[in-house]
Amino acid sequence: MIAVHTVEQAFNAGECEQIIEIVRGVTAKDAGLVGQATDHNLRRADLVWLDDVPEANWVTDRIVDVVRVANREMFDFDLREFAESPQVARYGAEREGHFGWHSDIGDGPVAGKRKLTMVAQLSEPDAYEGGMLEVQPSANVVTAPKTRGSVTLFPSFLLHRVVPVTKGERYSLTIWAHGPVFR
């Protein structure tokens, strides 16, 4: 099994810009943690949940296709649903937007069934500094590509983070595929 997998050009530049423009027109919420907790030392970002935005319905279809193929080719997890809405996060330099080391499997009934995490890079690479997605599948850290439209997939139990954005703003799209609890 490959621990971290990248799909280049899963979204084209126009689609990435369309997603960003859609969420700019919606009131974002302060990013929290599983269980509705907030800890700005761990996470500083603004979120828009795409299920709340009718103009973004097409995004879910693309996500399903990307995750299905990547899972079949690379992970072979028992995936059964997308039980949570896709979210677009904005990490801005004005807040040193970041998300410290964490895994995506949580204590809740839905978060406990997260098996595969998908993160799409929506911003142009030169639109921000810092803000890299780093995944730690072993003693070595893997940095996800900053290529616009690329998607990084990894098992939800892996530690990962977004380092602070020091200039500009980074937009990313995240979703989790769910299945029976790992055993």
pTM above 0.85?
yes
Say if 155 falls within a structural domain: yes
pLDDT digits (tens, 9 = 90+) for 103-154: 999 888 899 999 999 999 999 999 999 999 999 999 899 999 999 999 999 9
Which CATH number does the domain housing residue 32 bear? 2.60.120.620
What DSSP line would sit under the chain, residue for residue?
Answer: --SSEEETTSS-HHHHHHHHHHHHTS--EE---GGG---TTTEE-EEEEGGG-GGGHHHHHHHHHHHHHHIIIII-----B--S--EEEEEEGGGT-EEEEE-S--SSTTGGGEEEEEEEE-S-GGGEEE--EEEESSSS-EEPP--TT-EEEEETTSEEEEPPEEEEEEEEEEEEEE-SPP-
Say if 128 falls within a structural domain: yes
Say if 183 falls within a structural domain: no
Say if 110 falls within a structural domain: yes
pLDDT digits (tens, 9 = 90+) for 41-61: 788 899 999 998 999 999 999
Domain hosting 78: range is 5-178
Say if 140 falls within a structural domain: yes
User: What's the sign of the alpha-carbon dihedral 78, 81, 84, 87?
Assistant: positive
pLDDT digits (tens, 9 = 90+) for 88-98: 999 999 999 99
Query: Domain total for the chain?
Result: 1
The mean pLDDT value for 65-79 works out to: 96
